[in-house]
């Protein structure tokens, strides 16, 4: 049996708001006297985590983020939660992390400004990354189901935070009901300002959304995108442009995109020659870590050692990094693989 937690890993798709420690949330609820319909710890858990008996739907999955918005009640809380997310990634031996966060979500509980929450998150995330020896990039997310005017404001701020480690802009949210088109001008400007682009598509919506994300939003990477296999045009486009896919198996299972993990299209995507990376999406909502997803890929989906290492190499290749930093990181991973007794591919 392979020890996946000992392997050095890279992750490109993890949401801050979906990665919060249950223990801390519980403490915050108590300290802040939040009134929640949760008489017991188990009820509390069900508010913020997908449980086995729940409906595995996108709606249920997204409902957890709505509850979590109640918790972001002070700069100290936001900074603490952020630092813990980075510490937990480091504890799972993630050496390179692109962490995405949704500024609008963090402002809501107390009417903080977008600038304030971006200031707090970027500062504490980088401080924690330094402390734990994680190489960190931050991605700012905007939601399709929220107004494009708000997204424009967030995107402009994100560009001004490039000097503070923000490397990309992400479109998240309800893809089944909200098209990407209204966000095209915002993403064009962000790209011109030097931000990298990744878009959630082909998860809760059809493969055509992957093509739309690539053509209209110039996405370099696609969040999930697992339905791309259903459409030859989207496949051709993804191959032609070298688009990388941020695949998150447990998230797909819990939000009802795949009926069982055994039927997850990850092996088919690899076999089709797509650029595939393995990610958690929302580790605390799903009750997993990245090692868990590696174990699934290996034990349930039958992906061998080479395939697993290839996905990490693809993550380094598709990381939103300058070429100098990428080369240094590749070297660090090769050394870490050797130290762990792994032969690099
Ligand atoms: N899809 C869309 N939006 C999201 C997701 C997701 O899987 N996770 C967090 N926000
Ligand atoms: Zn996501």
Segment 174-198, tens digit of pLDDT: 999 999 999 999 999 999 999 999 9
Write down the pLDDT at residue 209: 98
Q: Which residue stretches of the chain have pLDDT < 70?
A: 1, 343-345
Exposed/middle/buried for 154, CB within 10 Å: 0-12, 13-18, 19+? Answer: buried
Active site residue 203: yes
Write down the pLDDT at residue 318: 98
Q: Which ranges constitute the DSSP H helices of the chain?
A: 22-31, 41-48, 58-68, 75-91, 103-107, 114-132, 148-160, 184-192, 208-216, 232-241, 249-254, 266-271, 283-286, 290-299, 305-318, 323-339
Write down the pLDDT at residue 317: 98
Ligand sitting nearest the alpha carbon of 223: 2
Ligand 1 atom at shortest distance from the alpha carbon of 224 = 7
Active-site entry in 84, 98, 175, 203: 203
The tokens of 183 are what?
């966000």
Which residue's CA is the nearest one to ligand 1's atom 2? 173
For ligand 2, a single-atom ion, the residues with CB < 5 A are: 223, 281
Q: What residues flank ligand 1, with Cβ below 6 Å?
A: 15, 18, 172-173, 200, 203, 251, 281-282
Which residue's CA is the nearest one to ligand 1's atom 3? 173
Report percent pLDDT > 90 for the chain: 94
Segment 231-248, tens digit of pLDDT: 999 999 999 999 999 999
3-state secondary structure of 39: coil
Taking the centre of ligand 1 as the mean of its atom positions, its distance from the CA of residue 292, in whole angstroms, is 19
- Domains in the chain, start-ordered, CATH in brackets? 4-23+75-339 (3.20.20.140)
Taking the centre of ligand 1 as the mean of its atom positions, its distance from the CA of residue 172, in whole angstroms, is 5
Exposed/middle/buried for 176, CB within 10 Å: 0-12, 13-18, 19+? Answer: middle
Write down the pLDDT at residue 39: 83
């Amino acid at each position: 049996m392979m020890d996946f937690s000992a392997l050095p890993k890279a992750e490109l798709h993890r949401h801050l708001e979906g990665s919060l420690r249950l223990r801390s949330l519980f403490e915050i609820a108590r300290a802040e006297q939040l009134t929640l319909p949760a008489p017991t710890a188990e009820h509390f858990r069900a508010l913020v985590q997908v449980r086995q008996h729940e409906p595995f739907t996108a709606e249920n999955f997204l409902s957890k983020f709505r509850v979590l918005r109640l918790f972001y009640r002070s700069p100290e809380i936001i900074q603490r939660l952020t630092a813990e997310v980075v510490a937990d990634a480091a504890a799972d031996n993630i050496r390179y992390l692109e962490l995405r966060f949704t500024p609008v979500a963090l402002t809501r509980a107390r009417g903080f400004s977008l600038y304030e929450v971006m200031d707090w998150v970027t500062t504490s995330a980088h401080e924690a990354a330094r402390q734990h020896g994680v190489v960190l990039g931050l991605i700012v997310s905007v939601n399709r189901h929220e107004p494009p005017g708000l997204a424009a404001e967030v995107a402009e701020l994100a560009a001004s935070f490039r000097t503070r480690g923000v490397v990309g802009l992400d479109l998240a949210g309800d893809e089944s009901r909200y098209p990407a088109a209204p966000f095209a001008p915002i993403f064009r400007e962000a790209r011109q300002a030097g931000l990298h682009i990744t878009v959630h598509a082909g998860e809760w919506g059809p493969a055509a959304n992957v093509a739309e994300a690539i053509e209209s939003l110039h996405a370099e990477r696609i969040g999930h995108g697992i339905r791309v296999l259903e459409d030859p045009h989207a496949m051709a486009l993804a191959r032609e442009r070298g688009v990388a896919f941020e695949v998150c198996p447990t998230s797909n299972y819990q939000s009802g995109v795949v009926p069982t993990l055994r039927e997850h299209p990850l092996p088919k995507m690899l076999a089709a020659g797509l650029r595939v990376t393995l990610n958690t999406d929302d580790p605390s909502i799903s009750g997993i870590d990245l090692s868990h997803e590696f174990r699934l890929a290996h034990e349930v989906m039958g992906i061998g050692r080479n395939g697993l290492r290839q996905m990490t190499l693809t993550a380094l290749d598709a990381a939103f990094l300058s070429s100098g930093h990428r080369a240094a990181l590749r070297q660090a991973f090769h050394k870490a693989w050797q130290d762990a007794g792994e032969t690099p591919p």
